[in-house]
Amino acid sequence: MSTGPAAPGAVPPSGVPLELRGRELGLGADGSRRGVVMAIVNRTNDSFYAPARLPDDAAALDAAHRAWEAGAEILDVGGVRAGVGPEVDEAEEIRRVVPFVARVREAVPGLMVSVDTWRAGVAREAIAAGADLVNDTWAGADPHLVEVAGEAGVGVVCSHTGGATPRTDPHRVAYPLPADAPVGSDPRDGVLLDVVATLRREAARAVECGVPPASVLVDPTHDFGKNTWHSLHLLRRTQAIAGLGYPLLMALSRKDFVGETLGLPPADRLEGTLAATAVAAWLGARVFRAHDVAATRRVLDLVAVVRDEAAPAQVLRGLA
């Protein structure tokens, strides 16, 4: 695996296409490929970013419609705050998520639906209600979850948390270089090597369990089990993670590593998020989990044109 930068002037390799239920996402009518936006709807009242808190059914469904109109192709529905917070048992998570998945499937049929859960029982119920993807942000904490996805033939997100358990915050985590690392290796690559090894192993198991390879997403999972230095290094090493050969998901939106880098609270992290998004898209990431759908869609469209993978919407300057 190469972890170095591309040759000067070279465009990094394109990200691997994503398919869910046999449908390729990010594919334009002209055959062009662009990044895929995964919009966020949290069926909670305590998510870290207040505008994503949508426990009310009507407001959440309106958000799904608006996400589709703004260019999202996937809606990620979560029922439990990722970080530390009040206990939410499986029955309550199902109550928050599953009926809503069914409503989105009926009301916005073109929108693929993802469920953000680490619990196999929640995943099973959500798939029965119409979910197309299981976003396991806690790296197989429930080993049966990927089996549920494989049995149903839906997609799954394989993530990396460095061994952190669900709903815990990192504390002085470290990723030293392995003893067999080549002499002269960048010591910061310890986290990259751990991420790549974990995602390779998890993705292979997902395929063994029956998930189609083009529906296996890999996610380095910024902030989860990592400090800000780790997350920044993984961003600059996006190309190495994309080299695993699976669609690469980046969940960067308004995260703490963006906020700590700029010294800003979640409400003021849009520009930093979009900058990180552009970097990751240029380096081969395919799917972007985003709070700000329209802005993210525009960034990905521009990057696709600069990468010469899509054409501009119009070219009139100097010709009229």
pLDDT one-digit tens code per residue, 200-240: 999 999 999 999 999 999 999 999 999 999 999 999 999 99
Q: What is the pLDDT of residues 158-208, one digit of tens each?
A: 999 999 999 988 999 999 999 998 888 999 999 999 999 999 999 999 999
Distance separating alpha carbons of residues 212 and 154, to the nearest angstrom: 8
> What is the average pLDDT value for the chain, to the nearest integer?
95
Dihedral of the CA atoms 233, 237, 241, 242 (nearest 10)?
Answer: 140
Is 135 part of any domain?
Answer: yes
CA distances from 209 to 74, 206, 294, 305 (A): 23, 5, 35, 37
Is 15 part of any domain?
Answer: no
Q: What is the pLDDT of residues 112-160, one digit of tens each?
A: 999 999 999 999 999 999 999 999 999 999 999 999 999 999 999 999 9
Burial 160-183 (b: 16+ CB within 10 A, else e): bbbebebbeebeeeebebeeeeee
CA distances from 319 to 129, 136, 316 (A): 52, 50, 5
Locus of tokens 């990592």: 226
Number of domains in the chain: 1
User: What pTM value is reported for the model?
Assistant: 0.94
Is 282 part of any domain?
Answer: yes
Distance separating alpha carbons of residues 282 and 235, to the nearest angstrom: 11
The CA R_g of the chain, rounded to the nearest whole Å, is 19
Is 183 part of any domain?
Answer: no
Percent of the chain scored above 70 by pLDDT? 97
Domain, as residue range, for 198 = 29-82+89-169+188-306
pLDDT of residue 295 exceeding 90, the answer is yes
Is 296 part of any domain?
Answer: yes
The DSSP code for 216 is: E
Model confidence at 9, pLDDT cuts 50, 70, 90, reads: low
CATH number of the domain where residue 284 is located: 3.20.20.20
Residue type, 176: P
Model confidence at 8, pLDDT cuts 50, 70, 90, reads: low
Is 318 part of any domain?
Answer: no
Distance separating alpha carbons of residues 21 and 214, to the nearest angstrom: 10
Pairing of strands 18-20, 23-25: antiparallel
Pairing of strands 249-250, 287-290: parallel
Is 11 part of any domain?
Answer: no
Q: What is the pLDDT of residues 26-39, one digit of tens each?
A: 998 888 999 999 99
Is 313 part of any domain?
Answer: no
